[in-house]
Structure 1
Amino acid sequence: MTMVRDGARQCMAWLHGWTGLLLGHILFVMCLAGTLSVFKPEIGRWMRPEVSGPADPSRAIMAATSWLSANTTGSTGWYLSAPDGRSNTVDATYDSDGAYLTKSLDPVSGAPVARDTLGGEFFYRLHFELQLPYPWGRLLASLAAMLMLVAIVTGIIAHKRIFKDIFTFRPAKGQRSWLDGHNALGVLSLPFHIMITFTGLLTLASLNLPWSITAAYGDDVMTMYSDLTPGAVSRVASGEKATLAPIGPMLDEAQRYFSAPIGRVYVFNPGDKAAVVTLYPVEQKAIGYLPAEISFDGATGKLLKAWTEKRTGVRAYQTVYGLHMAHFAPGLTRWLYFLGGAMLSLAIATGMALWVVKRRERAPLSVGNRILERLNVGGLMGASIGMAAFLLANRLLPLDLAARSEAEVSVALWSAGGVLLVGLTLAPARGWPLLLGVLALCCATAALLGPVWATDPVLMTGNGLLLATAAGLALIVWRQVRRKPAVTPARRRMVPA
């Protein structure tokens, strides 16, 4: 029995290593971006320092709809997220003259803010779309998440002393130190890792497992959505122009119905006689995602339908979705999500490094593993420096630059690509300290341009975290520079008899 158990653990360890290796760099990008997305509204506030202080949600929505009514043409829909205690702008997605736009609107004037940026939305989209066109980015993210779930389960089975690993770390021991660190990072927040991976897969279930939908509805997607959201009101544009009714009374009636502030406002067919205004409550009151909605006639303001979701199956899915998104989470819980995501990102990075370290201590690395070692330097550091460059570009690019938000994303992607090439070119012993130093410099510069003397608590916290990260990275670089190079073991050759 002991031999069988040991053989099973060896098989699980082999599977754990290969599943983590195959898409490890993709998983690192997803986990790091997802970790930052926990504070998506706060990152948006940090990246729009011109708008400071709290905002009244109702007045902000009224200002936004007023500006959109006067400044858009031929819109099919406005999709607005109201400001709350975490964000202070109206996040708007809308179309005008055939162009789809995503802007942050000033809560007082309703006009787009001066600093055009995606803010935290960049990290959120990168987390599950990987900056690839639909549906390829989501499919790749889904495949990576599946491999991650396999890696977690096989890692649990492969462990002989899983609880002991939480408290074991032996520094300066080569492979043993890397393994201890990898194990501790994985085991300490293991329940979170399982939850976040599993719920992430379920959020894309209709893309991953479409066969049940196809079997029940065939190509009739509209009927499927109608059955899934019976509270939704859908009307075809009539072609007759009509002014949007005052939205203030709709907001008041919706808040009375929800017994909660308004979180989102969707306006379909704005400027048309068949316009519909649909409102949703904030998601801080419950774990479940979008538990209720209420719709009004956009031209008259008359109530059309109010719906509170009570179906068990749908509520179960909304709860799973809400657990992954963490919109419900109070401050302490958000920090725990952030810590769990950071540990998962580091567990992936240490696992990638451990693969190389383990093989180097046995014998000189093969060509494939030497390439992987350099790919680790360029890939892991490229993702990190690219995200820091995105923050840096937010402070350095001119405010009046055309397509400024797209330029910030381009800076992030080109920076990541450039770092990847540098990592492939330099020897790892030089690449690691150099690129870690560049990352520290980017973080420190972004904080100092914050501006560092800002009094907004969100800006102060963001600047403080960037400076702390830069200081920690500088300490790591200093230790790496002082460390003596490890002696590479000589490969033993068979002596002919």
Structure 2
Amino acid sequence: MQTNTSTEAAAGASARKVAKAPGIRQTMSDLHIWTGLLAGWLLYAMFLTGTASYFRDEISQWMRPDVPAQLQLADAADLAPRLIATMQTLAPTSTQWGIRLPDARNNTASAFWRDDKRFKRATLDPATAQAIGVRESIGGEFFYRFHFQLHYLPVLWGRWLAGLCGMFMLVAIVSGVITHKKIFIDFFTFRGGKGQRSWLDAHNALSVLGLPFHLMITYTGLITLMLMYMPWGSDAAFKEASQRQAMQTELSAFVRPGQPSGQKAALAPVGGMVEQAQARWGRNGVGSVNVNNPGDASARVIVVRADDARVSTSPQFMMFDGATGQLLQTKDRVGAAAETRGVMYALHLGRFSDYPLRWLYFLVSLAGTAMVGTGLVMWTVKRRARLPDPARPYFGFRLVERLNIAAIAGLSVAMAAFFWGNRLLPAAMADRKVWEVDLLFIVWGATLTYALARPAKRAWIELLWLAAALLVLLPLVNGLTTDRNLMHSIATGDWLFAGFDLTLLAFGGLHALLAMRVKRHKAAVRPVARKSRRAPGTAASGASLDLAPSVTATGPL
């Protein structure tokens, strides 16, 4: 009898242990929390700079105010021969020229050429077809490059780290959907002023708002660099150098120059070649013109189709004999795998989109940035309530809290400083574009130092106000340092400059609202049950409870 009782007790204990095992939602919740936190700071920066990259061409134009606004798009068949003539002066001994023609979003042509195994670049004026001296600036290209390869790191290391963060992001999205059983119901619920509950509601709403977009942008971002992350399949399938070159031709319109023949020959009229391409793709269908071995009998002219009007970046080009002008090859399609990759690449970059669709890309991507930011803040909000002494948190919590401040508010300050540097650094300064970027990281590092030295709430408020001031004053700085101020831009129909200044004012106002919201926030006070001392002779079962107020800090909002 006693043995049976012991067996039943053991079985009951075993059943209780099984019952306490975490379920799939709890497991996914832990996975969601920690993948989001460990990669969250880099993901926030990647999301925000990637969001800005949807207007990288417009940012580049704003950062080169000395280049006049483009009033009318030049005809490619007329402009290309004049640009080729300029290249014959700029790089007469080069074995490769490349010219990107101006389009609706770029008011200049850009040229590159190979010289002594290095590539050189120049900006060309469409009106004169001559090289123009513009202030040295990396422009919006910095945000584009940073969002997938970071900075100050070897390119491959940066891309591997960005890819690792992208994988964490994909895991966080999938596990977050599994964790939040009522995520779509909660999307329509927002409870303001409720501390942790408000942060969770905001996080849920921002997540559901662009969930398909977030999945698409994360997955396609990984696909764009899949051959670097997983090269084994292509290495096994394409072992010969010629096979690998053929694979690259399927993915890119870049055609390697062959060996020159050594026999000189004048370049055939390029205008006629461009006209043939226009007849096939439309008047504005030509994106660039590349010339291999110019001045040699083996010269090749590759007219490449623009990818801003099609949902694919798969290469399409027409290749001509440079000496005779004869059409040698027309590439209109690629294999199914390469086309799938081209479509995913185009969906990620959004180059095909017109301005309304690009703004939609921008706003939904901005919501994704806010999703990451609210998730980071919610981690500290949730755990601060459990601290034994919220006024004196342990080191790990304090570090995460300060990193949140620098990663979110500090990055806004740093990006604003980047634009200020573009206007205030001397135009003739050596390595000017390098200093623009260095200034961003110097200011960003300073915000982290500031956040470590100040109380958390004060650091949030002060850095948000600083970001607001820098953004709001930037149009004024632009008006004082250039002749393209906001009023002049509106009056002359220069909507790129006017739109940029108005966007800066809008984001400055947003940061000011956040700063005021943080300042008005008061820590919630909740009653905490505390056992009172038992009077002599009082039975334990009759112990009374007294309530003492306990302050629970809930983060910046």
TM-score by length of structure 2 reads 0.82
Could you say which residue in structure 2 is the equivalent of 1:195?
A: 216
Q: How far is the alpha carbon of 1:462 from its aligned partner?
A: 0.6
Could you say which residue in structure 1 is the equivalent of 2:244?
A: 224
Mapped contact 1:63–1:108 kept (Cα < 8 A)? no
- Counterpart CA distance in 1 for 2:445 and 2:526 is 30
Q: How far is the alpha carbon of 1:21 from its aligned partner?
A: 0.9
- Counterpart CA distance in 1 for 2:21 and 2:185 is 19
- Counterpart CA distance in 1 for 2:123 and 2:449 is 35
Cα deviations by residue, 1:449-481 (Å, 9 ceiling, x for unpaired): 332232411111110000111112122223333
- In the alignment, is residue 68 of structure 1 matched against residue 87 of structure 2? yes
Cα deviations by residue, 1:14-40 (Å, 9 ceiling, x for unpaired): 100111111111111111111111112
Determine which of 425, 430, 433 is the counterpart of 1:397. 425
* Change in 2 beyond 3 A, CA 1:271/1:173: farther
- Counterpart CA distance in 1 for 2:454 and 2:294 is 56
AA partner of residue 470 (structure 1) = G
The worse-fitting range, judged by mean Cα deviation, of 437-446 and 178-187 is: 437-446
Q: How does 1:327-338 map to 2 (within 5 A)?
A: 327-338=351-362
- Counterpart CA distance in 2 for 1:360 and 1:148 is 25
Could you say which residue in structure 2 is the equivalent of 1:153?
A: 174
Cα deviations by residue, 1:116-152 (Å, 9 ceiling, x for unpaired): 2222211111111112322111111111111100000
* Change in 2 beyond 3 A, CA 1:306/1:4: farther
Cα deviations by residue, 1:148-179 (Å, 9 ceiling, x for unpaired): 00000000000111111211111111111111
Indicate the SS of the match to 2:302. Answer: strand
Determine which of 82, 88, 99 is the counterpart of 2:101. 82
Mapped contact 1:175–1:361 kept (Cα < 8 A)? no
- Counterpart CA distance in 2 for 1:492 and 1:208 is 56
Could you say which residue in structure 2 is the equivalent of 1:108?
A: 127
Mapped contact 1:57–1:84 kept (Cα < 8 A)? no
Could you say which residue in structure 2 is the equivalent of 1:211?
A: 232
Q: How far is the alpha carbon of 1:71 from its aligned partner?
A: 1.9
Q: How does 1:62-461 map to 2 (within 5 A)?
A: 62-72=81-91, 74-96=93-115, 99-109=118-128, 110-131=130-151, 132-218=153-239, 220-229=240-249, 232=255, 234-238=257-261, 243-259=266-282, 261-363=285-387, 364=390, 365-450=393-478, 451-453=485-487, 454=489, 455=492, 456-461=494-499
Could you say which residue in structure 1 is the equivalent of 2:6?
A: none
- Counterpart CA distance in 2 for 1:119 and 1:287 is 25
AA partner of residue 452 (structure 2) = L
Mapped contact 2:109–2:123 kept (Cα < 8 A)? yes
Q: How far is the alpha carbon of 1:397 from its aligned partner?
A: 1.9
Determine which of 495, 502, 514 is the counterpart of 1:476. 514
Mapped contact 2:314–2:343 kept (Cα < 8 A)? no
The worse-fitting range, judged by mean Cα deviation, of 232-241 and 324-333 is: 232-241
- In the alignment, is residue 26 of structure 1 matched against residue 31 of structure 2? no
Indicate the SS of the match to 1:172. Answer: coil
Q: How far is the alpha carbon of 1:310 from its aligned partner?
A: 4.6
* Change in 2 beyond 3 A, CA 1:373/1:228: same
- Counterpart CA distance in 1 for 2:527 and 2:142 is 45
Q: How far is the alpha carbon of 1:42 from its aligned partner?
A: 1.5
Could you say which residue in structure 2 is the equivalent of 1:14?
A: 30
Cα deviations by residue, 1:53-100 (Å, 9 ceiling, x for unpaired): 233152554444333321236434333322111221123333445553
- Counterpart CA distance in 1 for 2:54 and 2:498 is 18
Indicate the SS of the match to 1:173. Answer: coil
Could you say which residue in structure 1 is the equivalent of 2:10?
A: none
Structure 1 residue ranges without an equivalent (≥5): none
Q: How far is the alpha carbon of 1:271 from its aligned partner?
A: 4.6
The worse-fitting range, judged by mean Cα deviation, of 464-473 and 243-252 is: 243-252
- Counterpart CA distance in 2 for 1:125 and 1:240 is 41
* Change in 2 beyond 3 A, CA 1:23/1:75: farther
* Change in 2 beyond 3 A, CA 1:441/1:66: farther
Q: How far is the alpha carbon of 1:197 from its aligned partner?
A: 0.7
* Change in 2 beyond 3 A, CA 1:221/1:97: closer
AA partner of residue 147 (structure 2) = H
Could you say which residue in structure 2 is the equivalent of 1:464?
A: 502
* Change in 2 beyond 3 A, CA 1:125/1:240: farther
The worse-fitting range, judged by mean Cα deviation, of 263-272 and 376-385 is: 263-272
AA partner of residue 90 (structure 1) = A
Indicate the SS of the match to 2:139. Answer: coil
The worse-fitting range, judged by mean Cα deviation, of 245-254 and 60-69 is: 60-69
Indicate the SS of the match to 1:86. Answer: coil
Mapped contact 1:233–1:276 kept (Cα < 8 A)? no
AA partner of residue 22 (structure 1) = L
Coordinate RMSD, CA, aligned: 2.8
Q: How far is the alpha carbon of 1:254 from its aligned partner?
A: 1.6
- Counterpart CA distance in 2 for 1:338 and 1:241 is 50
* Change in 2 beyond 3 A, CA 1:77/1:402: farther
- Counterpart CA distance in 2 for 1:391 and 1:22 is 29
Query: Identity rate of aligned residues, in percent?
Result: 41
Q: How far is the alpha carbon of 1:485 from its aligned partner?
A: 5.4
AA partner of residue 273 (structure 2) = M
Aligned residues: 493
The worse-fitting range, judged by mean Cα deviation, of 228-237 and 315-324 is: 228-237
Mapped contact 2:309–2:353 kept (Cα < 8 A)? no
Indicate the SS of the match to 1:223. Answer: helix
- Counterpart CA distance in 1 for 2:171 and 2:314 is 30
Structure 2 residue ranges without an equivalent (≥5): 1-18, 479-484, 534-539, 541-557
AA partner of residue 517 (structure 2) = R
Q: How far is the alpha carbon of 1:443 from its aligned partner?
A: 1.4
* Change in 2 beyond 3 A, CA 1:485/1:328: same
The worse-fitting range, judged by mean Cα deviation, of 177-186 and 283-292 is: 283-292
* Change in 2 beyond 3 A, CA 1:377/1:486: farther
AA partner of residue 379 (structure 2) = W
Could you say which residue in structure 1 is the equivalent of 2:14?
A: none
Cα deviations by residue, 1:245-270 (Å, 9 ceiling, x for unpaired): 43222211221233352112223334
AA partner of residue 376 (structure 1) = N
* Change in 2 beyond 3 A, CA 1:301/1:422: farther
AA partner of residue 505 (structure 2) = L
TM-score by length of structure 1 reads 0.91
- Counterpart CA distance in 1 for 2:527 and 2:325 is 78
- Counterpart CA distance in 2 for 1:96 and 1:488 is 71
Mapped contact 1:81–1:91 kept (Cα < 8 A)? yes
Mapped contact 2:124–2:131 kept (Cα < 8 A)? yes
- Counterpart CA distance in 1 for 2:522 and 2:175 is 35
* Change in 2 beyond 3 A, CA 1:66/1:25: farther
